[in-house]
Amino acid sequence: MKLTKKQFDVLVTIEKNKNKISQRDIANFTNISVGLVNKIINELLNEKLIDENNAITKKGLAVLEPYRVKRAIFLAAGFGSRMVPITLNTPKPLVLVHGKRIIETLLDAVVKAGIEEIYIVRGYLGEQFEILLHKYPNIKFIENVKYNEANNISSAYLAKDLLENAYVLESDLYLSNPNLIQKYEYSSNFLGIPVARTEDWCVEVKNNIIVNEKIGGINCYQMVGISYYNEEDGKKLAQDIEEVYLSPGGKEKYWEQVQLDVKKNNYKITIRECHFEDIIEIDTFNELKQIDKIYDV
């Protein structure tokens, strides 16, 4: 059974809250009107996806299974030159912020969401990532020996056959809202922050679908380096990443330019809205000092 987006949102909300949630609370969580929530509840009842107590059934869980996130892939191979001097001895994802490694804020959210397959593509000072195995024993490492010769598309190329039903996460994001990482995803999407103006990488959106990627824009979404790909798009990406990576100049591209620019006609990737308070991309050492005063010495 193929769920509509609203049916999916309601059913996932019931599952996530262990069936103990009112229709009004469902409406608040999903931004769907109470009247429409009531209509959807009746649809789910008729399909036997929930029972009379609004508890999800075995059939409901089975219907959600194709939407389950299977794995998380962390791109963590780069040097982080703008974070010098701190990155001279420490890979950027392992830098401590308020006593916690940057990548751990993401890993904790992935584990909380029940995502068991975890891959980290490492390169610069890669052996230091071994320390994560004590807390996250499920991690598997992918070695990127060309991290200094190519852009992060080289890391995506190495992980291209793992992209079905997968999150791809840049590993230098300090996550404050772990709920951005979810057990189920309805469609391929990219996180973005709505802004009136930005000089950063951003995307233009039409009918919730990303139609253009660029640097700087007005009334657009500033890109956040977390995205998800369903089974169909993951398969296409494996082919498209290889084609772009091996093409002239391909190694200089950022990995997301494949699906958002060069091969964008092959995809309908939705925007998933988040906010500045949810997640911080720490680009420079000065930004690090502003966020964590321990470095401001």
Q: How many domains does the chain have?
A: 2
How many other CB atoms sit within 10 Å of the CB of residue 76? 32
Tell me the mean pLDDT in the region 147-176.
Answer: 96
Specify whether 84 is located in the same domain as 200. yes
Domain residue limits at 97:
68-295
Specify whether 38 is located in the same domain as 122. no
Specify whether 26 is located in the same domain as 163. no
- Residue 186's φ and ψ, nearest 5 degrees, are -80, -40
Domain boundary among 66, 88, 118: 66
With H, G, I as helix, E, B as strand and everything else as coil, classify residue 268.
coil
Specify whether 220 is located in the same domain as 290. yes
Specify whether 131 is located in the same domain as 210. yes
Specify whether 93 is located in the same domain as 55. no
Specify whether 17 is located in the same domain as 164. no
Domain boundary among 66, 94, 115: 66
Specify whether 80 is located in the same domain as 116. yes
Tens digit of pLDDT for each residue in 24-58?
999 999 999 999 999 999 999 999 999 988 899 99
148 vs 125: CA distance, rounded Å: 12
Q: Would you state the pLDDT for residue 19?
A: 64
Q: Would you state the pLDDT for residue 83?
A: 86
Domain boundary among 66, 95, 115: 66
Specify whether 157 is located in the same domain as 269. yes
Whether residue 72 contacts residue 132, with contact meaning beta carbons closer than 8 Å, is answered with no
Helix 34-46 / helix 5-16 crossing angle, nearest 10 deg: 90
Q: Would you state the pLDDT for residue 126?
A: 96
Q: How far is CA 158 from CA 121, 185, 245, 267, in A?
A: 8, 24, 11, 21
Specify whether 94 is located in the same domain as 56. no
Q: How far is CA 50 from CA 15, 67, 103, 116, in A?
A: 10, 17, 37, 26
CATH of the domain at 195: 3.90.550.10
Tens digit of pLDDT for each residue in 225-242?
999 999 999 999 999 999
Specify whether 34 is located in the same domain as 73. no
226 vs 113: CA distance, rounded Å: 15
Specify whether 59 is located in the same domain as 170. no
Beta-ladder partners of 94:
none
pTM of structure: 0.94
CB neighbour list of residue 111: distance below 8 Å, 6 or more residues apart: 136
Give per-residue burial for 130-143: e unless 16+ CB within 10 Å, then b.
eebeeeeeebebbe
Whether residue 224 contacts residue 106, with contact meaning beta carbons closer than 8 Å, is answered with no
In the numeric block, the tokens 């701190």 are attached to 86
